[in-house]
Structure formats: C-alpha cells, structure tokens
C-alpha cells in the first residue's frame, strides 16, 4: 500500500497539465481554424462578392449556407472514417479537403465556382468539427479534459478574428480582387494543419480498439505525467474496451449506427438526446448566422462605411476571443453545467436587447448613435456569452459522453445536426429577417435560448471529473443521472 506522501505526489502529478498532451490538443484543434476563418472572412467578403458578381440576397444565402449544409456530409462520414483509418489521418483528410475547396473559391471566375468550392470546403469542415474534439478528448487527462477539449472553439474564434482582420486589411483592394484573396488565404491554415498533424501520435483509445496495446501504452506514457498514471489509464481503457466488441483489428465501427438508432439502450438514448440537443441549441442560437450577416445588420442600422462595418467585426472578434479563454480556464474548475447555463441565459438577454435596439432603429428616421452603440454592445455580449457557454462546451460535451465504440459515430451524428441547423439558419436568415425584420428575428432567437436553458437544466448531467470510461454509469438507470434529475425536478418548499 502506498504511503500518504506518495499518494499525494501522484494526485498532484495527475492534476498537472502535461505539455505533450497540450501540444497534441493544440495541433488537433487547429483544424477548427478552417471553419472560424471562413465564418469571419465570409461576413465581409460577401459584401464585395455581391457587388462584383451582381448576385441577389437569395444567392448570397446559398453562397453562405452551402458550406454549412455540405459540412453535414463530412460530419456524417467522419465517424465511420475515423473508426476505419484512425483519428490522426482523418484530421489530414479534413485539412486536405478544405485546401482544395479554398483554392477553388479563391480562383472563382463567376458565381457557380465559389459555390462549388464551398461544397468541397464544407465537407472538410464537417470532418474537422467532429474529429478535433474527439481526438483531444481521447488523449486528454481527465482533470484537464475540459480545458483541452474546449480548444477547438478557441481556434474557431481565432479563425473568425483572423478573418475579420483580413477583411479590414484587404477592403481597400479592387472589388474583383479583394474577396478572391480573402477566400483563397484559407489555404494557408489548411496547409499548416495538414503538416502539423504528422507530429501527433494516434489516439491511444483507437489503438486499443485495434488491439495495439503496446503502441497505446507508449502514447499514454507521453501524454501522462507519470508511468503509474499511464498504466492506470491503459488498464481502465482496456477494461472498458474488453466489455465491448471493439478490440480486434477487424473492427472498424461496424454495427454502431444500429446500436445508436435502432432500439438504443436507455443510457445511449440519454446520451443521444444530450449530444443532439446541445448541438441543436448551439446553432439554433443563430450564432453563425449573426456573425455571417453582422455587416448586413449594421448596414441596415445606418453604418454604411465598409471600414467601420469591418471595425465592428474586429471588436466582436476580440470579445469572443477573450471570453472563450475565460471559459477554457475555468471549465474544469466550475464544471460544464454552470458555465453552460450562465452563457445561455446571457445570450437570451443579449438577443432580447438586440431585438429591442433593432426595432427602435427600424422605426427611427435619424438612427440615433446611442441606439447603434447599444446594438453593438448587445452583439458583443451575445458572442461573449456564446464563448463562455455553448461555444466551447458543445464540443467538450459531445465528444466525452459516448462510450468508446460509439464515440466517433455518436459525436458525428450530433455534429451533423449542428451543421444542418447552421446551414438552414444561414440560408434563411436574411429571407426571414426581410419578412419579420432583424428585430423580430432576434426576438425569435432569444425565445429559443430560453427553451435551451430549460433543456440544459433538466437533461444534461455534470461530467466534470469523470473519466471517459465512467460516462455510461453516469447516464445509467438508478445512478447519478437519476439522482441529478430528481434534484432538479423536486419542488422547493
């Protein structure tokens, strides 16, 4: 039996962030820059594309939304792909596909060509959104999983900010050139990600499913602070994998869709509801659409200078970046639920204020400056609360709750819902807003966020401090899941 001093030293070692695990998480999460850059740069580039190619509002929605809709294809395929070829090479595939799409967008001579480029880039985005959090969750120590698995959202936000800065910097170029350079520059991070992945090891949990225990042990030793910790993690992973039909070189994800969708067990059903629900509300919040069309919103509010419009975007991007870092640092300390509920309630309030401000401007001829400032502050508050809660926690929660055999394809299914809702909103936001006004649209989104708060409060248990192998017990009958639900539903005296 170990002495208290040895136990204390071991616990301290386990709680310390492993630098190699951090490096792997950073490299994997960099794939999310691809989506972030597209969201950020497209919000400005679309103004120039509209003028240069003489396209309508509906064509703008098709151009913007195509990437999100087609990312559904990549998301659905990514689970099976990563079970078959591994997590690491799926990241390479994601970056390569996006690279082809970025080049096609940058060289586009007429409207159909950037649409085609966004179809290809969208498939790459779908792959990257699933694989980066899953890989990071599988390689991360339990006590730092929240921090490391929230890094994809940090890189999405960094990509958005980089896109905004690119818009601002290139806005002075001729209209037939600036948007092509803006979109074509997306090839740079795609190339960097593709090469960076070769410095990463394969996921130890995927290696265990292939029966490669020695290789998995070598990886775990690198991403753990002590050999004892690595052996403990390997034993736990192996025990969980042995209880599932996955420890064979012939297993590449067979039968998972059947287990997920055809008579799933109660724990799996609860996991699906939680994962699909959080992904639905992430995009039903309108975050992507608000960012894509923010210049259009403020243009209607009376800001017509493109430099000023892009300046507002840069301010918004800096707000997002600051608050996603706050969430990442405190996610393992406070837990997923408190930050998720705080962020969602803040988003609902911010959208309500934005709706009121927009409604006032709609009925005002002189567009008072104070109202425009209130709307800018409300938008910045909205994206900041998103970065505290739904932004990072959606990736963390989706990738950590499924058991090993279901993780890749279960996460892929949930993120497919994410991309579908994002695509639908991106392709209808302007059309609906023309019918009910921007203010009316923001009120609808605020109402959706109120429903989201209730959903999260009732149906998402806390996962902080749980290993990936303990998640099934958390969602089992007559366990912590049930007791958590009873506490929430119990009427107060």
> pLDDT tens digits for 307-334?
777 777 777 778 877 888 888 888 888 8
Indicate if the pLDDT at residue 4 is higher than 70.
no
Residue 85 has pLDDT above 70, yes or no: yes
The alpha carbon dihedral of 134, 135, 141, 143 has a sign of negative
* pLDDT of 200 over the 50 cut: yes
478 by Cβ neighbours in 10 Å (0-12 / 13-18 / 19+) ranks as: exposed
Distance CA 41, CA 21 (A): 31
Are 87 and 134 within 8 A, CB to CB? yes
Q: What is the mean pLDDT of residues 217-242?
A: 89
Check residues 8 and 179 and name the one with the higher pLDDT: 179
pTM value is 0.78
Of 210, 237, 221, 3, nearest in space to 86 by CA? 210
pLDDT, average across residues 130-144: 87
Cα Rg of the chain, angstroms: 23
User: CA-to-CA distance for 213 and 166, rounded, in angstroms?
Assistant: 46
- Confidence at residue 271, expressed as pLDDT on a 0 to 100 scale: 92
3-state SS assignment for residue 224: coil
Where is pLDDT greater, at 214 or 157?
A: 214
Residue of 152 and 257 predicted with greater confidence: 152
pLDDT score, position 339:
94
Asked whether the predicted pLDDT for residue 438 surpasses 80, the reply is: yes
Q: Region 457-478: what's the mean pLDDT?
A: 84
Give the confidence band of 379 by pLDDT, cuts at 50, 70, 90: confident
Instruction: Tell me the mean pLDDT in the region 161-185.
Output: 84
**Greatest extent of the chain over all pairs of C-alpha atoms, in Å:** 79
The two structure tokens encoding residue 402: 């499924």
Closest CA to 275 of 93, 403, 85: 403
- pLDDT score, position 15: 59
Instruction: Tell whether the model's pLDDT for residue 281 goes beyond 70.
Output: yes
Q: Which helix (H) or strand (E) holds 56?
A: none
Pairwise pLDDT comparison (11 vs 240), residue with the higher score: 240
pLDDT at 302: 64
Report the pLDDT averaged over residues 233-246. 78
pLDDT in tens, 46-57: 888 888 888 887
Confidence of residue 300 (pLDDT cuts 50, 70, 90): low
Residue 129 has pLDDT above 90, yes or no: no
For the chain, domains (ranges, CATH) are: 19-489 (1.20.1250.20)
């Amino acid at each position: 039996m170990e002495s208290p001093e040895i136990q204390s030293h071991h616990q301290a070692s386990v709680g310390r962030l492993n630098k190699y695990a951090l490096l792997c998480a950073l490299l994997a999460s960099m794939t999310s820059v691809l989506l972030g850059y597209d969201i950020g740069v497209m919000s400005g580039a679309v103004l120039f594309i509209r003028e240069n190619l003489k396209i309508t509002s509906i064509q703008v929605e098709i151009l913007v939304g195509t990437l999100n809709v087609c990312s559904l294809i990549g998301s659905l395929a990514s689970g099976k792909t990563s079970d078959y070829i591994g997590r690491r090479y799926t990241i390479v595939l994601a970056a390569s596909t996006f690279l082809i799409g970025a080049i096609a967008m940058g060289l586009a001579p007429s409207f159909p060509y950037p649409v085609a480029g966004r179809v290809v880039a969208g498939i790459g985005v779908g792959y990257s959104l699933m694989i980066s959090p899953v890989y990071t969750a599988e390689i991360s120590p339990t006590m730092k999983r929240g921090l490391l698995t929230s890094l994809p959202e940090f890189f999405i936000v960094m990509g958005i900010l980089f896109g905004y800065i690119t818009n601002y910097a290139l806005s002075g170029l001729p209209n037939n050139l600036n948007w092509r350079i803006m979109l074509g520059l997306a090839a740079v991070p795609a190339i960097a990600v593709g090469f960076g992945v070769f410095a990463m090891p394969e996921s130890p949990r995927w290696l265990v499913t292939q029966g490669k225990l020695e290789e998995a042990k070598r990886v775990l030793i690198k991403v753990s602070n002590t050999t004892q910790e690595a052996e403990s993690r390997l034993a736990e992973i192996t025990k969980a994998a042995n209880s599932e039909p996955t420890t064979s070189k012939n297993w590449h994800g067979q039968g998972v869709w059947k287990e997920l969708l055809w008579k799933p067990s109660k724990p799996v059903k609860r996991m699906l509801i939680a994962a699909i629900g959080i992904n639905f509300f992430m995009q039903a919040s309108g975050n992507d659409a608000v960012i894509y069309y923010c210049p259009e919103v403020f243009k209607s509010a009376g800001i017509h200078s493109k430099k000023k419009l892009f300046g507002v975007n840069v301010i918004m991007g800096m707000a997002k970046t600051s608050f996603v870092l706050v969430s990442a640092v405190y996610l393992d300390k406070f837990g997923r639920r408190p930050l998720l509920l705080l962020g969602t309630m803040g988003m609902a309030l911010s959208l309500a204020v934005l709706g009121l401000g927009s409604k006032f401007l709609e009925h005002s001829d002189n567009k008072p400056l104070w109202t425009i400032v209130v709307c800018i502050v409300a938008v910045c508050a909205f994206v900041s609360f998103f970065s505290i809660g739904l932004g990072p926690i959606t990736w963390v929660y989706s990738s950590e709750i499924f058991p090993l055999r279901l993780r890749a394809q279960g996460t892929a299914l949930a993120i497919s819902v994410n991309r579908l809702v994002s695509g639908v909103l991106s392709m209808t936001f302007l059309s609906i807003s023309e019918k009910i006004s921007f203010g009316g649209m923001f009120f609808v989104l605020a109402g959706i966020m109120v429903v989201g708060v209730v959903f999260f409060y009732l149906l998402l248990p806390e996962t902080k401090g749980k290993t990936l192998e303990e998640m099934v017990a958390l969602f089992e009958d007559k366990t912590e899941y049930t007791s958590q639900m009873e506490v929430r539903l119990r009427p107060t005296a």
